[in-house]
Amino acid sequence: SGTARKERAPMHGSSDERTRTGMSPESLKRAFVDSMFYVQARYWEVATPHDLYMAAAYTVRDRMLERWIRTAETYRKADARTVCYLSAEYLLGPQLGNNLINLGIVDSARQGARDLGIDLQEILDQEPEPGLGNGGLGRLAACYLDSLATLSIPAIGYGIRYEHGIFDQKIVDGWQVEDCDLWLTNGNPWEIPRPLLRYPVRFGGHTEPYTDEHGRFRVRWVPELDLYGMAYDTPVLGFGNDNTNLLRLWHATAGRSFDLQAFHKGDYYGAVNAKVGAENITKVLYPNDEPEVGKELRLKQQYFFVSCSLQDMVRVHLQHAPNLEGFHERFAAQLNDTHPSIAVAELMRLCLDEHGMDWERAWEITRRTFAYTNHTLLPEALETWPVELFGRLLPRHLEIIYEINARFLDELRMRYPFDPERVARMSLIEEGPVRRVRMAHLATVGSFAVNGVAAIHSELVKSTVLRDFHELWPEKFHNITNGVTPRRFIQLSNPDLCGIITDLAGPGWARDAENLRTLEPHADDAAFQQRWQAMKRAAKERLAARIREATGAVVDPQSLFDIQVKRIHEYKRQHLNLLHIVALYHRIKQGTDSDPTPRTFVFGGKAAPGYFMAKLIIKLIHSVAEVINRDPEVNQRLRVVFVPNFNVKNAECIYPAADLSEQISTAGKEASGTGNMKFSMNGALTIGTLDGANVEIRDAVGHENFFLFGLTVAEVERTLAEGYRPWEYYRSHDELREVIDLLRSGLFSHGDPDLFRPLTDSLLQHDPYLLLADYPAYVEAQARAGDAFRDPAGWTRMSILNAARTGFFSSDRAIREYCRNIWQVEPMPVSLAAGNGSVP
């Protein structure tokens, strides 16, 4: 409960000897041994690597709790305005290493482990990662939690505690096979279950009108099903401060009503089934990345976590206030894409039905609470739900949405009296054979701010999917270019680079990434370049070892590491990369090679299980790899590998090892990209199109330090409008034709010319992502990159400048912009030292 205790229990003093939370190697060692005994219930001789990990995790967690509690106390006392980040995904990655960094005890922990004869790295490797997200969107949410805590912003991340996160990718005969993710099976030491922090969530049934005691018309929702959401809390440390924020994930359990039903009706087994059904809601993450699959369970997940989160916010608010007036002053709630946008209707329902507010006031509070981030323009990704399904699961919410819509459309008619088409375009309801709720419209109408995730993307949001809304409310629209946390993606992933930067810039750079600029004057310094090359070389050796372990393939760390890791998607064009690889292979075989730079091509990424073309691209990567890697005539110059199961852990090993980063989406399709930033910060050069954040990365690092190619957004539009005929590119470009013909010949498919037909046919007939149109420019840019790599000093200079000039892409900068331009929230630093040595 939130009631503040008057008297304070005595706490350990701050001196290391007297506290169980000391940070010295001695204290850590003692605590670790204690945890092994008292938490893991193991003694030394029989402890498994997993026991070591758990004991280490509990040791670290103990050191987070005082900060966490002090933070909660500070925010509560100050009645602080709080950011609530609502996201269906958090791709956190392993916690232990990151928490050691943010506590500032990496060296201490390593020393303590060494004294006990343990290798810290081995312990770190034990941790299964919480993969509660698909890709960039989920990872962005995790980076933002890190930055919010680091910037001392009062914030709560709300989401879903999926029992199974993103599937494990296995490769069998070159094909992706999905395996169940089991991150929770051995226990999760970072979460704290809160069995008493539960909220009811209802589904189905019907609504009925009634008149309340003041004679006012009201609606009551009589649901069919209720279940509970239970909180699991994970502390999120700031770096270089004492703030520790909260990530609260909801787990679904059956409500009391199940037991009662069974008791009354005597249908025990029926009740058991219903219970299982309820718990299914948080069973598994939907593995789709962008293309929408309108599944009932997914809508249930969305409403489930949004309802729990808003009820939690209301509870907190009512600890300080008599009613929901002022709710929007206490909270800014960010909608991470439309997945949580049902929140708009849910907050209206809470205000209207549960707190007796009138419509106008409820709407005012709702619209001033939410802000919406758009993450994609792909038409197939825009969420819409059939009205029928919506009404069946959430009848009251559908009514509320209809009412919001009726009032909104009246406003529009007033403003555009002779433009019924515009009114229909902007409606929250899409008319058609099946009527559907447009979630992006609901989010836009119900929010005070809308933002895109890179400059070019935000412009496209305004000129395409939300054009009419931008014309109506231009001041609502913002851009906030994405960012990534330098703690995880430099400090943790690339300790050598971290050492180099710290030597030059001092340790402050990790809180102020603009300090990376101190590298810039050293870009041409020979001794510095040598150190830089050694750093890169060591990272490439580590990746080579990892690749050998995972795939058996041997790669040469001296070759150019040309890497494309991201979800597999036609718009991301992994197959354009493949066309170039086959062209290089073909040239060597023909003896017409003009690019003798030895290269290792690395791919990684998951395909949505139902996305056939993406899975076929994975198969094609393996098939091309097989032919090239075993051909002695080419395999000294070219190697192709696919790193299975690309996830945060693998990513941390991959970004530092890259020489060349592939960011080759069709212009206008990649909203931002964030891998592009991680590569660049680690000194990779980019080969890329003018898409997403590439545009800003190129401007930041200097055009001469970036391999640009391809059609611009305007040229893509024009090409398609003029009637794009990929066949003509095939006909008129000899090498392109030869490459595609090789794919069609069966050379890469053990003689089966049909295997890759779906891909080649799609390219020749439609090519919706304009691979053939961009092919000549891509190959030409690749040649420039290959040539440049043969001048080590020139390349190293460019590499250093990339790392030096990408401080802008720190998630700290992005979060500062959200705070200032959208949330209107101020930092609230927490001080452990200022406390009187006790906790409440």
Catalytic residue positions? Answer: 375, 566-567, 572, 674, 678
Report angle CA 338, 340, 341 to the nearest 5 degrees: 60
Report angle CA 325, 341, 416 to the nearest 5 degrees: 85
Q: Least CB distance from residue 716 to ligand B1N, whole Å?
A: 16
**Residue 568 Cα to chain centre, angstroms:** 15
Tokens at 67, concatenated: 């900060």
Separation CA 148–CA 142 (nearest Å): 10
Indicate the residue among 572 and 797 with the shorter CB distance to ligand B1N: 572
Sequence letter at residue 763: L
Asked if 501 contacts 692 with a C-beta cutoff of 8 angstroms, the reply is no
Q: Which residue has the tokens 């190129």?
A: 698
First CA to last CA across the chain, in angstroms?
12
- Closest to 245 measured CA to CA, from 150, 143, 370: 150
Contacts of 836 (CB under 8 A, 6+ apart): 8
Asked if 830 contacts 151 with a C-beta cutoff of 8 angstroms, the reply is no
Q: Least CB distance from residue 257 to ligand B1N, whole Å?
A: 31
Write phi, then psi, for 813 (nearest 5 degrees): -65, -45
Indicate the residue among 396 and 698 with the shorter CB distance to ligand B1N: 698
Contact positions vs ligand B1N (CB under 6 A)? 134, 136-137, 140, 288-290, 337, 375-376, 381, 453, 482, 670-674, 692
What's the DSSP call for residue 690?
Answer: S
**Residue 258 Cα to chain centre, angstroms:** 36
Write phi, then psi, for 505 (nearest 5 degrees): -105, -10
CA distances from 716 to 568, 666, 720, 761, 762 (A): 21, 8, 6, 21, 18
Write phi, then psi, for 671 (nearest 5 degrees): -55, -50
Q: Least CB distance from residue 275 to ligand B1N, whole Å?
A: 28
SS (HEC) of 8-64: CECCCCCCCCCCCCCCCHHHHHHHHHHHHHHCCCCCHHHCCHHHHHHHHHHHHHHHH
Separation CA 806–CA 700 (nearest Å): 7
Indicate the residue among 35 and 376 with the shorter CB distance to ligand B1N: 376
Q: Least CB distance from residue 567 to ligand B1N, whole Å?
A: 8
Q: Least CB distance from residue 419 to ligand B1N, whole Å?
A: 31
Indicate the residue among 311 and 674 with the shorter CB distance to ligand B1N: 674
Indicate the residue among 375 and 580 with the shorter CB distance to ligand B1N: 375
| Residue closest to ligand B1N (Cβ) | 136
Contacts of 397 (CB under 8 A, 6+ apart): 303, 342, 345, 346, 349, 390
Q: Least CB distance from residue 237 to ligand B1N, whole Å?
A: 23
Q: Least CB distance from residue 340 to ligand B1N, whole Å?
A: 12
Q: Least CB distance from residue 656 to ligand B1N, whole Å?
A: 20
- DSSP H helices, 116-211, are 120-125, 136-150
Q: Which residue has the tokens 């270089």?
A: 240
Q: Least CB distance from residue 289 to ligand B1N, whole Å?
A: 5
Indicate the residue among 349 and 457 with the shorter CB distance to ligand B1N: 457
Separation CA 806–CA 655 (nearest Å): 14
Q: What is the side-by-side strand order in the sheet with 429-430?
A: 384-386, 436-438, 429-430
Indicate the residue among 605 and 726 with the shorter CB distance to ligand B1N: 605
Q: Least CB distance from residue 26 to ligand B1N, whole Å?
A: 43
Indicate the residue among 66 and 670 with the shorter CB distance to ligand B1N: 670
Asked if 382 contacts 337 with a C-beta cutoff of 8 angstroms, the reply is no
Separation CA 797–CA 793 (nearest Å): 6
Separation CA 559–CA 562 (nearest Å): 9
Tokens at 820, concatenated: 């200032």
Indicate the residue among 638 and 716 with the shorter CB distance to ligand B1N: 716
Pairing between strand 660-663 and 560-565? Answer: parallel
Indicate the residue among 290 and 346 with the shorter CB distance to ligand B1N: 290
What's the DSSP call for residue 810?
Answer: B
- Closest to 132 measured CA to CA, from 110, 162, 100, 172: 162
Q: Least CB distance from residue 796 to ligand B1N, whole Å?
A: 28
